[in-house]
Copies of this chain bind each other. A is one copy, B any other.
């Protein structure tokens, strides 16, 4: 490039930086760019990174290769190149089959299950990349409901009557799945939720609330970690082991009182670095959503019980607040939550224990 040479004569410092960049950019990146020129090359590189990540633990010296691939893929899978597509019963079976295979939150039990999730009172959207034409990158499932859903099982029921979407006032995001392991760390989820919320708002003027119905996947693990030296907590955990304990009314009532408070505390206070411990909370709060409501027995599936002790939570996406909430979170790690959360959390076993400890100290 003669331009660089010309420029050098006038302002060598600029050019030195450009040269430094070129020098430290590993030839691997150029190699990957050339691999990408072949037909199907992009898919091969995504798959290559997927395998790389799998073997990462044993081969830490692959860090550099991974960094290069991640850098390139992050640049190529820029939001500007992704295409939002609605997924419905008109979508090619080839693509639908992949949703069944990829769904990571509430497993799809075959074609009739998928079909119910694509009917008039449900919506499904995915991002696609032009170089991977039949391969969803990420997809989201939405239920159009009257009132904010508190429990996921009714949403997943195959025989539930199909409601008129025009009468819905809530859009409930009940599942969001990243499909490409090879794109780990390249994030699209927030953009997908926002765009889908905007599109639905335009299509259905009566929609007032956009909210998730989300698991709290780290809750029970945290409970277990906290139980050491806290006999009340240990007893609570022991009871959670009993099969279908929640069917005993009296037991369930007492459990509810305790677990809801503990979960509120869990979502607000324990941290990983400066951010919430719960990964799903990190994601939605980072997007600017608001912690809205805890739902007792929101997910009574085996996995819902094992991870979240059956609780689910609604994060509300108010489009007009997202920017402000996101800023508050990004700068000060401030969590925007409904008033109830604070009250519940203050009154939890752990919080009280800590207050007592503080008082004793």
Q: Would A80 and B17 count as touching, CB distance under 8 A?
A: no
A283 interface residue per 8 A CB criterion: no
A66 interface residue per 8 A CB criterion: yes
A166 interface residue per 8 A CB criterion: no
Mark interface residues in A15-53 (1 if CB within 8 Å of B CB, else 0). Answer: 101101100111000000100111101100000000000
- In the assembled complex, the Cα of A166 lies from the Cα of B63 at a distance in Å of 44
- What residues of chain B lie closer than 8 Å to A92, measured between beta carbons? 89-93
- Majority DSSP secondary structure for residues of A touching B: helix
Interface of A toward B, CB cutoff 8 Å: 1, 3-4, 6-11, 14-15, 17-18, 20-21, 24-26, 33, 36-39, 41-42, 56, 60-61, 63-64, 66-67, 71-72, 75-76, 78-81, 83, 89-94, 96-97, 110-111, 115, 130-131, 134, 185, 191
- What residues of chain B lie closer than 8 Å to A130, measured between beta carbons? 81, 83, 130
Supposing A11-B61, A76-B75 touch, asked if A21 and B24 sit within 8 A by C-beta, the answer is yes
Q: Which 9 A-B residue pairs are closest in the complex by CB-CB distance?
A: A7-B63, A130-B130, A37-B79, A10-B60, A36-B80, A90-B92, A18-B67, A14-B64, A111-B111
- What residues of chain B lie closer than 8 Å to A6, measured between beta carbons? 60, 63
- In the assembled complex, the Cα of A52 lies from the Cα of B254 at a distance in Å of 64
Residue of B11, B26, B41, B191 near A63 (CB, 8 A) is B11
Min CB distance A101 to B, Å, is 13
Q: Would B94 and A89 count as touching, CB distance under 8 A?
A: yes
- In the assembled complex, the Cα of A26 lies from the Cα of B109 at a distance in Å of 48
Q: Would B93 and A3 count as touching, CB distance under 8 A?
A: no
- What residues of chain B lie closer than 8 Å to A15, measured between beta carbons? 63-64
Q: Would A20 and B24 count as touching, CB distance under 8 A?
A: yes
- What residues of chain B lie closer than 8 Å to A63, measured between beta carbons? 3-4, 6-8, 11, 14-15, 18
